[in-house]
Amino acid sequence: MRIEVLVDVKTTLGEGPLWDVDEQRLYWIDSFDGRVFRCTADGREVRCWDVPQKIGSMCLRKGGGAVVSLQRGFHFLDFATGEVELIHDPEPDKPNNRINDGKVDKRGRFLAGSMDTMEEGGNGALYRLDPDLKVTKLEGGIVVSNGPCWSPDGRTFYFTDTWSGRISAYDYDLDTGSIANKRCFARNQWEGAGFDGATVDEEGCLWSALVYVGKLVRYTPDGEVERIIDMPVKKVTSVMFGGPNLDILYVTSMAKPPLPRFPGDPALRGALFAIHGLGVRGLPEPRFAG
């Protein structure tokens, strides 16, 4: 196994690595500074787009461009012009919330949740954006929405409220996009850590970034710890497999903690990392069908 710094742009809050198999490009975001980045598998040809608000996540569209979850709702992003267009703001009455982590299911729906910016109250919710642009609330009472991903068959949905101390699993209906039968998949064993971004590999194992303790954990499909990787920084935020063979694990990190109570990091803070030689492959990330 080898960990390298792929791109060091000192993202204030790096998040959401997203490998696109069609373009053979890696996207990631800076949540606090409102930026979308793109590069090649080996970190070349770096491009950046500015968005007008804090950004929690993004997905690519089948017809081109992207959907971005900004502080005030879901928007389209046109890569050619850099313009954003509001789709829907599901929380106009909650100015202290922002939309956070999100992913696309096998049928092209975008699921993303909101969070309390002070990370204290259960003011957030999980939403589903359908290809017809209808927004549906799936769950409420969430402090910090994070880590949405699916089993390889798309029928188990994983999600975490970061400070709940657990990753939850749900039955996922691919025909309707509904969730049911919520249960505990894994519990946090590390003091001071929070479950952050996650992805599932082709063997059905879930990889979670343990923010504030600098660990990546691979869980088997039955929730057992299979391996732990210690990273060069404490504030790792999210993970995604990519590269030509989908065997490189890309890891984002943050340069500055969002609140004073969280720890700092050395010189590599905010870097984008690539991990080689894991002997594991990921799955292609679907595009939004709308």
Q: Give residue-wise pLDDT tens across range 132-141.
A: 999 999 999 9
Q: If pLDDT is split at 50, 70 and 90, which confidence band does 35 have?
A: very high
Mean pLDDT across the stretch 99-124? 95
Tokens of 94: 């909650």
In a domain, 281, yes or no: no
Q: If pLDDT is split at 50, 70 and 90, which confidence band does 262 have?
A: confident
In a domain, 257, yes or no: yes
Overall domain count for the chain: 1
What CATH number is associated with residue 28? 2.120.10.30
Q: If pLDDT is split at 50, 70 and 90, which confidence band does 121 have?
A: confident
In a domain, 284, yes or no: no
Tell me how far the alpha carbon of residue 164 is from its chain's centroid: 17
- Selected catalytic residue, list 33, 101, 196, 201: 196
Residue 181: the pLDDT is 98
Structural domain including 256 reads: 2-276
Q: If pLDDT is split at 50, 70 and 90, which confidence band does 222 have?
A: very high
Mind listing the pLDDT tens digit for each residue in 183-196? 999 999 999 999 99
What CA–CA distance (Å, rounded) separates 73 from 284? 26
In a domain, 286, yes or no: no
Please identify which residue in the block is written with the tokens 């929070």.
194
Residues 6+ apart with CB under 8 A from 267: none
Q: If pLDDT is split at 50, 70 and 90, which confidence band does 15 have?
A: very high
Mean of all residue pLDDT scores within the chain:
96
In a domain, 173, yes or no: yes
Residue 219: the pLDDT is 98
Asked if the model's pLDDT at residue 261 lies above 80, the reply is no
In a domain, 290, yes or no: no
Q: Which of 163, 159, 160 is nearest to 172 (CA)?
A: 159
Active site residue 196: yes
In a domain, 283, yes or no: no
Q: Which of 111, 117, 108 is nearest to 148 (CA)?
A: 111
Q: If pLDDT is split at 50, 70 and 90, which confidence band does 164 have?
A: very high
- The DSSP code for 164 is G
Helix (H) or strand (E) holding 86, with range, is: strand 84-88
Tokens of 136: 């549906």
Which is it for strands 135-142 and 124-129: parallel, antiparallel or unpaired? antiparallel
Q: Are 131 and 76 spatial neighbours (Cβ–Cβ below 8 Å)?
A: no
What CA–CA distance (Å, rounded) separates 257 from 169? 28
Q: Are 183 and 167 spatial neighbours (Cβ–Cβ below 8 Å)?
A: no
H helices, E strands: number in the chain: 0, 24
Residue 13: the pLDDT is 96
Q: Tell me if residue 163 falls in helix, strand or coil.
A: helix
In a domain, 287, yes or no: no
Mean pLDDT across the stretch 63-75? 97
What CA–CA distance (Å, rounded) separates 195 from 213? 10
